[in-house]
Amino acid sequence: MLEITEGSLAVAEAVGKCRPQVIAAYPITPQTHIVEALAEMVANCEIDAEYITVESEFSALSACLGASAAGSRVYSATTSQGLALMFEVCFNCAGMRLPVVMSIVNRAMGAPLSIWNDQQDSVSLRDSGWLQLYAEDNQEATDLHYLAYKVSEDHRILLPSFVCFDGFILSHTYEPVDTISQEQADSYLPPFKPFQRLDAADPISFGLFAAPDYYTEFRYEIDQAAKRALSVIPKAGKEFAELFGRDYSGLVEGYRLEDADCALVAMGSICGTVKDAIDEMRDAGKKVGLLKIRTFRPFPSDEVKKALSGVGRVAVLDKNISLGSKGAMALEVRDALYGSQIPVYDYIIALGGRDVRKKDIARVVSLAEEGKGDLFYGLREEVLQ
């Protein structure tokens, strides 16, 4: 059923239909509407979950970790500083192979303090072992939660997932969203079957320490599980498409890439603007296309390489910066294209909520055509003097 609703509320509704048994969350802008909506659902017995009002994000994810280990499906949501406070626990959840699902309402990292959007927060956790899915619009943001639980809880994977969508741009925007019914949700996402759990009837010790003779092997297994997700995600996406008609079987998605001279690479809500800009440029005779990255972790290098193999140049739009190096996505794309002659230009763009318009995308394409890249796009004059 198509409904016009706020992004956060659409996500909260989808999360509710995933039937989380334990929810633990701490308020932080722009995530609050999601956890408020879930609290309301619990208060009205619309969902049957234990809701823990923790005293910090650190405890939110710690409580999720414990609840998951004890055998419940769990949920949390956060952003930016809250995610940073969870840093330690993030590595723990992945290392302990607990399929926690968390919404990341993407926001910039301080300092300076900024409540506005970029993707520095989740991108900075790229080495933690969490799967990272990025949504372009609110429809995708809601749907990816079902997909995330399905993939995370798969016993071949057993890794936690971030479902990332841009703060304010998506979370606070009203868009038409097709919501699926509880029965439909249940038909896609079966009840949680823990691989192992804390249980007095069958005791197990979780979270031992590993000396040098074993540590590497545990890290290897996490990495292998993440890489298995490269084939499990498309299958879960295909199954979703068969039931609901919306196709997330691709780890990446091409838009008018077929004969493109310049391929833009982007993830998240900026892709919508890029598509509109591409349409205009195409109308003006420019061969431009987009490769949208939906799955940032694991990084689908082979799919990226395949999709970009015929293009003349690549312009990566990074809403993050690995300070002292490059944008995180550009590094991945360059790695994927290593050995080819295709130049990859990096543009640090849309940090801290700075708006990006179609003309900016056209300007980026021009810069790439001039061979100018690896720069912060659209800097104020005063810092350049």
Partner 1 sequence: MAIGTGCTARPGKSRNNKTGSWRVFRPEFINEKCTSCGMCRIICPEGCIGENEEGLPVPDYDYCKGCGLCAEECPSEAIEMKKEEK
Partner 2 sequence: MNDEAACVLFDSGHRACGGCAAAMAARLILDAAGKDTIVVSSTGCMEVFSTPYPETAWGVPWIHSLFENNSAVASGVVASLKKQGRKEKVIALGGDGATFDIGMLCLSGAFERGHDFTYICYDNEAYMNTGIQRSGATPYDASTTTSPAGSCSFGNSRPKKDLPMILAAHGAPYVATASIAYPPDFKKKVEKAVNTPGPCYIQVHAPCCTGWGFEGEKTVAIGKLAIETGLWVNYEMENGVVTKVKKVVRKPVDDYLVGQKRFRHLFKPKRNDAEIAKIQALADRNAVKFGIDITLKK
Report the residue from 63, 98, 131, 330 that binds partner 1 according to the rule CB under 8 A. Answer: 98
**Binders of partner 1 among 119-158, rule CB under 8 A?**
158
Q: How far is the CB of 49 from partner 2 (least distance, A)?
A: 7
- Distance between CA atoms of 252 and 88, rounded to whole angstroms? 29
When CB distances are held under 5 to 8 angstroms depending on the partner's kind, the choice from partner 2, partner 1, none that residue 55 binds is partner 2
Determine, following the binding rule CB under 8 A, whether residue 73 of this chain makes contact with partner 1: no
Residues that bind partner 2 (CB under 8 A): 21-22, 24, 48-50, 52-56, 58-59, 62-72, 74, 88-89, 92, 96, 198-200, 203-211, 214
Query: In this structure, are residues 232 and 100 in contact, taking their beta carbons and an 8 Å threshold?
Result: no
Query: In this structure, are residues 98 and 124 in contact, taking their beta carbons and an 8 Å threshold?
Result: no
When CB distances are held under 5 to 8 angstroms depending on the partner's kind, the choice from partner 2, partner 1, none that residue 158 binds is partner 1
Determine, following the binding rule CB under 8 A, whether residue 297 of this chain makes contact with partner 1: no
When CB distances are held under 5 to 8 angstroms depending on the partner's kind, the choice from partner 2, partner 1, none that residue 195 binds is partner 1
When CB distances are held under 5 to 8 angstroms depending on the partner's kind, the choice from partner 1, partner 2, none that residue 312 binds is none
Determine, following the binding rule CB under 8 A, whether residue 218 of this chain makes contact with partner 1: yes
When CB distances are held under 5 to 8 angstroms depending on the partner's kind, the choice from partner 1, partner 2, none that residue 72 binds is partner 2
Q: How far is the CB of 213 from partner 2 (least distance, A)?
A: 9
Nearest by Cα to 363 from 257, 255, 286, 307: 286
Size of the site for partner 1 (CB under 8 A): 19
- Contact stretch for partner 1 (CB under 8 A) within 4-12, 76-84, 212-220, 352-360: 212-220
- The nearer residue to partner 1, 220 or 338, going by C-beta atoms, is 220
Report the residue from 113, 176, 214, 306 that binds partner 1 according to the rule CB under 8 A. Answer: 214
- The nearer residue to partner 1, 160 or 289, going by C-beta atoms, is 160
When CB distances are held under 5 to 8 angstroms depending on the partner's kind, the choice from partner 1, partner 2, none that residue 221 binds is partner 1
When CB distances are held under 5 to 8 angstroms depending on the partner's kind, the choice from partner 1, partner 2, none that residue 199 binds is partner 2
- Distance between CA atoms of 178 and 168, rounded to whole angstroms? 20
**Burial profile 36-55: b = 16 or more Cβ within 10 angstroms, e = fewer:** ebbbebbeeeebebebbebe
- Contact stretch for partner 1 (CB under 8 A) within 16-24, 96-104, 160-168, 307-315: 96-104
Nearest by Cα to 157 from 130, 178, 177, 186: 130
At 222, list the tokens. 């996490």
When CB distances are held under 5 to 8 angstroms depending on the partner's kind, the choice from partner 1, partner 2, none that residue 89 binds is partner 2
Residue with tokens 């741009």: 169
DSSP string, 53-88: --SSHHHHHHHHHHHHHTT--EEEEE-HHHHHHTHH
Helical axes 32-43 vs 7-17, angle rounded to 10°: 50
Q: How far is the CB of 108 from partner 1 (least distance, A)?
A: 33
Burial class (CB in 10 A: 0-12, 13-18, 19+), 312: middle
Query: In this structure, are residues 227 and 159 in contact, taking their beta carbons and an 8 Å threshold?
Result: no
- Distance between CA atoms of 294 and 145, rounded to whole angstroms? 13
Residue with tokens 């800097």: 379
Q: How far is the CB of 64 from partner 1 (least distance, A)?
A: 15
When CB distances are held under 5 to 8 angstroms depending on the partner's kind, the choice from partner 1, partner 2, none that residue 74 binds is partner 2
At 259, list the tokens. 């004969």
Query: In this structure, are residues 278 and 311 in contact, taking their beta carbons and an 8 Å threshold?
Result: no
Binding site for partner 1 (CB under 8 A): 95-98, 158, 195-196, 203-210, 214, 217-218, 221
